[in-house]
C-alpha cells in the first residue's frame, strides 16, 4: 500500500529550524516529493528524493531513507511567509507515475 503519514499541525518561531516528518509504506514506491501549499493556492514543488540521503536547496532540505520508509523536510531560518501546508507525496512505480499525497502538515510560523 501507499499510506502517507505526516503530522497535522506544527508551530515554530521565526528564525528557527523546523523538521516535518513523513512516513510511508515502502511497497511499490519510487520517489518522494515535497510540496508547499499556501491557503487557497495550488501546491508548488519544493524537492524530490529518489535515492537515500539529503538534498539541499537553499533554506530547504529533504531527506529520504527508503529502507525505513521515512522522509523529512527541514526548513531553516524560518520566515513568516513559510506559514503554509507542506505536502509529502510518494510516487508509485507504475506507468502512470502519479503521486499519492499525505493530508499535509500545516505549519504556523510565529514572531
Partner 1 sequence: SQTIHQWPATLVQPVGSPLSLECTVEGTSNPNLYWYRQAAGRGLQLLFYSVGIGQISSEVPQNLSASRPQDRQFILSSKKLLLSDSGFYLCAGRDRGTDTQYFGPGTRLTVL
Question: Of 33, 37, 30, which Cα lies nearest the Cα of 93?
Answer: 30
Q: How far apart are alpha carbons 34 and 93 in whole angstroms?
A: 17
Residue 95 as a binder of partner 1 (CB under 8 A): the answer is yes
Residue 103 as a binder of partner 1 (CB under 8 A): the answer is yes
Cα 94–56–4 angle (5° rounding)? 40
Residue 2 as a binder of partner 1 (CB under 8 A): the answer is no
Choose the binding region for partner 1 from 10-18, 38-46, 60-68, 74-82 (rule: CB under 8 A).
Answer: 38-46
Closer Cβ to partner 1, 46 or 78, answer by number:
46
Amino acid at each position: 500500500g501507499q499510506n502517507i503519514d505526516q503530522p497535522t499541525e506544527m508551530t515554530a518561531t521565526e528564525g528557527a529550524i523546523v523538521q516535518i516528518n513523513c512516513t510511508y509504506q515502502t511497497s511499490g514506491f519510487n520517489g518522494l516529493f515535497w510540496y508547499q501549499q499556501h491557503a487557497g493556492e495550488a501546491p508548488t514543488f519544493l524537492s524530490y528524493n529518489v535515492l537515500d540521503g539529503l538534498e539541499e536547496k537553499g533554506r530547504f532540505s529533504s531527506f529520504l531513507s527508503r529502507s525505513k520508509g521515512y522522509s523529512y523536510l527541514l526548513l531553516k531560518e524560518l520566515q513568516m511567509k513559510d506559514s503554509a501546508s507542506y505536502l509529502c507525496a510518494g510516487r508509485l512505480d507504475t506507468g502512470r507515475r502519479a503521486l499519492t499525497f499525505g493530508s499535509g502538515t500545516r505549519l504556523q510560523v510565529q514572531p
